[in-house]
Amino acid sequence: MGDEVTVSTVAEAMYEMVKQYHGKKNLKAMDLTKAMIEKFGGDNCDKQLCKQAIRELIDSGRCTYSYVGGSYIVLPPT
């Protein structure tokens, strides 16, 4: 059996993705969710887990929401 995918694992992977796309493409919550389900597989990662991971990213201040004609998850301004 593979390692369990935790909220923190998904949050970390989401954070890396937001960093990678920073300044190139704005990502919505659903973009991150779809990418994580694809990365970890539907059996290990679902929408609920992704929701919790986004909550962790936002509440820790590592990411923030922005509004540019839609709501996106971005890095906080430096």
Partner 1 sequence: MAAKLRETPLIDELLKGPWPSFVKEIKKCAQNEKNERGSARSNDLLGVLERSYKETIGHWKHGGIVGVMGYGGGVIGRYNDLPEEFPNVAHFHTIRVNQPSGWFYTSDILRKLCDIWDKHGSGITNMHGSTGDIVFLGCATDDLEPTFADLTALGFDLGGSGSAVRTPSCCCGMARCEWACYDTMALTDDLTRTFQDELHRPAFPYKFKFKMSGCPNDCVASIARADMSIIGTWRDDIQIDQKAVADYASKLNLENDVISRCPTKCMSWDGKKLSIDNSNCVKCMHCINAMPKALAPGKDRGATILLGSKAPIIGGALLSSVIVPFLKIEPPYEDIKELAEAIWDLWAEHGKNRERVGEFIQRIGMGNFLEQIGLEPRPEMVINPRSNPYIFYDQDQE
For binding to partner 1 (CB under 8 A), which residues are involved?
A: 28-30, 33-34, 47, 51, 54-55, 58-59, 61, 64-71, 74, 76-77
If one counts every other C-beta atom within 10 angstroms of the C-beta of residue 60, the result is: 10
The DSSP 8-state label assigned to residue 32 in this structure reads H
Contact assessment for residue 52 and residue 66, using Cβ atoms and an 8 Å cutoff: no
CB of 75 to partner 1, least distance (A): 9
Question: At its nearest, how many Å lie between partner 1 and the CB of residue 70?
Answer: 5
User: What is the distance in angstroms between the CA of the first residue and the CA of the last residue of the chain?
Assistant: 41
- Closest CB to partner 1 among residues 5, 50: 50
